[in-house]
Structure 1
Amino acid sequence: MVNSGLTNGVEETLETRISKAALDLGFVSCGITSAREDPVRAERLEQWLGDNHHGTMEWMETRAHHRRSPQALWPEARSVIALGMSYAPSADPMRLEDYPAHARISVYAQGKDYHDTVKKRLKALARWLVAEELGAEVKVFVDTAPVMEKPLGEAAGIGWQGKHTNLVSPDHGSWLFLGAIYTTLELEPSDPQRDQCGTCRACLDSCPTDAFPSAYRLDARRCISYLTIEHKGPIAEEFRTALGNRIYGCDDCLAVCPWNKFASTAHAMREFLPRAELASPRLGELLALDDAGFREVFSGSPIKRIGRGRFVRNCLYAAGNSGDAALLGACEKLKNDPDTVVADAAHWAAARLTSSL
């Protein structure tokens, strides 16, 4: 462990200075864990993939060997700095549940793309660390590489993986974007977090599609976030009604977590504040978007990556669930869309709306 610096006459460790530098950059949580393989984490990953719970996310399987441990991805790594950045919402994520003509967009996607914001600050922290410790090597990751951010965050003590499989912070609830810095430095590990879910099962009971076979296990093939974002074809009819008016992601299992009472919007980055047009968008306006309009509206948003076709598909399922006859014309028009998945969704939505007249 490297020691350097004095605070009030007390020598300050590098680990403490890293944490302070992270807080100065806007991170609310910072912890350290070893880059070596944890057999338990590796076994859980293999079981999840073996059960085919990753659905069509082929990259989870093709690079599973790199996900087993940080050193499997980068053999020279010795430590991992796990970081969390708050996006705690100021409004109730469930508030649009009873307004079916409006679309529900997951809290994390209502502001700027978190990849850009988090990575920019990770790079700044990495540069600071290299300047402090000459010879140190670093690599930064934000959700775009074979890195198991959630179990690493738990091992580094910034939270624990709750029964909904997401990280839960005792200070910031379920509203954390995660990032990681791998380094060749041998750093002192933080104490891991203790699971504090207890007997609570609010997240499990809230899932509209029963995506949890059991506590701490998620079948992505049934998860609305997976279905609306990752799944490329038509969504199975058994799930379409359960989508309700959710068109991008789902916050239900996060929103009901009792630990969110400790989350404060004062700690959320300004970049993650919701754009006015995405906080409560009308389905009719979204259904009218062509490819150019979609790209313009969602420029700088994580929503842009799913493309207009998948997005309008989701909006059509929501329209079909709305019972709003005013949306029937837009659905009828989209029956002839060149995207066959959109056309299929339009036929389903139009039939649903017609039957409700």
Structure 2
Amino acid sequence: MNIHDLQHQFIAYAMSIGVDKIGFTTAAPFTELKNRLRRQQELGYQSGFEERDINKRTEPLQLLDEAESIVAIAMAYPSRMPNAPVGKKGARRGIFCRASWGVDYHTALRERLKLLTAWLEEHVEGVRVESMVDTGALVDRAVAERAGIGWSAKNCAIITPEFGSYVYLGELITNIPFAPDTPMEDECGDCRLCLDVCPTGALIEGGQLNAQRCIAFLTQTKGMLPDEFRTHIGNRLYGCDTCQTVCPKNKGKINWLHEEFQPDPELAKPLLTPLLTISNKEFKAKFGHVSGSWRGKKPIQRNAILALAHFKEEAAVPNLVALLTKDDRPVIRGTAAWALGKIGGEQAQAALLTAMLKETDEEVLGEIDKGLAFFNQ
């Protein structure tokens, strides 16, 4: 079989197993990206979750020594949730970002990449393949951009004409010299809505993100959330979709294509108060299959506390008092202390004054002081 026919059949197979877009590029280094990543590193804009070796992130030959081309794939995920539950006083709800609705996309894309690899192994003797999703060394968006999946937008997402930016990305490097696709023209134009509405100013300029200020990153951290970001979290438990939801290119892109990505409303918008006392076992059983669970329950619980403070949910005060006085994790005790001050009321104030006499952790004591300071405003 010649390379043209092979590529054509490979594309057809990819579509048959649920891949929504597929593109090809060479295994040449991502030279411009390397310079941008170095600049990001110098500015301290990286999240810390990335592969630290910039050469591995930008030179495919470091990952597969016979690399000839890279295959980029994309799968679309939903932007809307039918019959979404509505929170109300006494029963407030948080929200997971759209990329955490349904089954963990790492699992879904790895399954497709595994099938694609098996197909190549069956049809090409001596084929070599290295596949990755998100946690791999290569920068998914840079590969997708060069392979013609979509253009790299000002909000740092890949936007596809068919599905907007609501796509998961993955790739495989291979020693097969597939014909490369042509990158798309940037269609953002003069629009800067995403930059203007970013809650924390994390989008420094078009295509440049300070991950340390990005709510999507902040919701995944495990420590005490810096003061300046607490009121910006809102009721977000994991991730942030603001720069996607305002994008005109996403208008009308609903993407109800894959049953595995369709959200369970009670998981995508869960009640906040039950999250405060959920056990590790219960958390894993309930949320373990979604991508937003990867950091464990602690960040989710911390964010749930901040969400209750955002709503000034008085009904949650007894639960927060219990966390402040009984939880063995300083981050949870401290966040509860701050939230009690934000919510206010006699019970909250009394609990903070009592806790101040018993608490021994300096950071938690600092949060108790912050909580009490709300009563003097």
For the criterion TM > 0.5, the same-fold answer is yes
Residue correspondences, number = 345
Task: Report Cα offsets for 1:302-323 as digits up to 9, x if no partner.
Answer: 2322112222111111111111
- C-alpha distance in 2, partners of 1:141/1:237? 36
1:249-264 equivalences in 2 (<5 Å): 249-261=239-251, 263-264=253-254
- C-alpha distance in 2, partners of 1:116/1:108? 13
1:14-25 equivalences in 2 (<5 Å): 14-25=6-17
| Residue 77 (structure 2) aligned to one of 67, 72, 87 | 87
Structure 2 residue identity aligned to 1:306 = R
Contact 1:96/1:104 (8 A) holds in 2: no
CA RMSD of superposed structures (Å) = 2.3
Query: Cα distance 1:257–1:310, how it changes in 2: closer, same or farther (>3 A)?
Result: same
Structure 1 residue identity aligned to 2:275 = L
Q: TM-score under structure 1 normalisation? A: 0.91
Please state how far the C-alpha of 1:42 moved relative to its aligned partner. Answer: 1.3
Counterpart of 2:175 in structure 1 is: 184
SS of residue matched to 1:179:
strand
Task: Report Cα offsets for 1:150-181 as digits up to 9, x if no partner.
Answer: 01100000001100101111111011010101
Counterpart of 1:41 in structure 2 is: 33
Query: Cα distance 1:161–1:221, how it changes in 2: closer, same or farther (>3 A)?
Result: same
Contact 2:96/2:292 (8 A) holds in 1: no
Task: Report Cα offsets for 1:102-145 as digits up to 9, x if no partner.
Answer: 10111121211111111011110111122122221111111121
Contact 1:171/1:262 (8 A) holds in 2: no
- Identical pairs, percent: 32
| Residue 73 (structure 1) aligned to one of 46, 53, 63 | 63
Say whether residues 1:321 and 2:315 are aligned partners. Answer: no
Rg bigger for which structure? 2
Say whether residues 1:28 and 2:20 are aligned partners. Answer: yes
1:167-246 equivalences in 2 (<5 Å): 167-229=158-220, 231-246=221-236
Task: Report Cα offsets for 1:31-72 as digits up to 9, x if no partner.
Answer: 000111021121111111121101443x432x2221022112
1:141-152 equivalences in 2 (<5 Å): 141-152=132-143
Task: Report Cα offsets for 1:268-302 as digits up to 9, x if no partner.
Answer: 32111112321321111222212222222112122
Contact 2:25/2:71 (8 A) holds in 1: yes
Which aligned segments of 4 or more residues in structure 1 are displaced greater than 3 angstroms?
94-100
Please state how far the C-alpha of 1:96 moved relative to its aligned partner. Answer: 6.8
Please state how far the C-alpha of 1:324 moved relative to its aligned partner. Answer: 1.5
The range that moved more, 15-24 or 341-350, is: 15-24
Q: TM-score under structure 2 normalisation? A: 0.86
| Residue 285 (structure 2) aligned to one of 293, 296, 318 | 296
- C-alpha distance in 2, partners of 1:55/1:301? 21
Contact 1:84/1:158 (8 A) holds in 2: yes
Contact 1:88/1:172 (8 A) holds in 2: no
- C-alpha distance in 2, partners of 1:224/1:98? 24
Please state how far the C-alpha of 1:74 moved relative to its aligned partner. Answer: 2.0
Query: Cα distance 1:213–1:98, how it changes in 2: closer, same or farther (>3 A)?
Result: farther
Please state how far the C-alpha of 1:343 moved relative to its aligned partner. Answer: 1.0
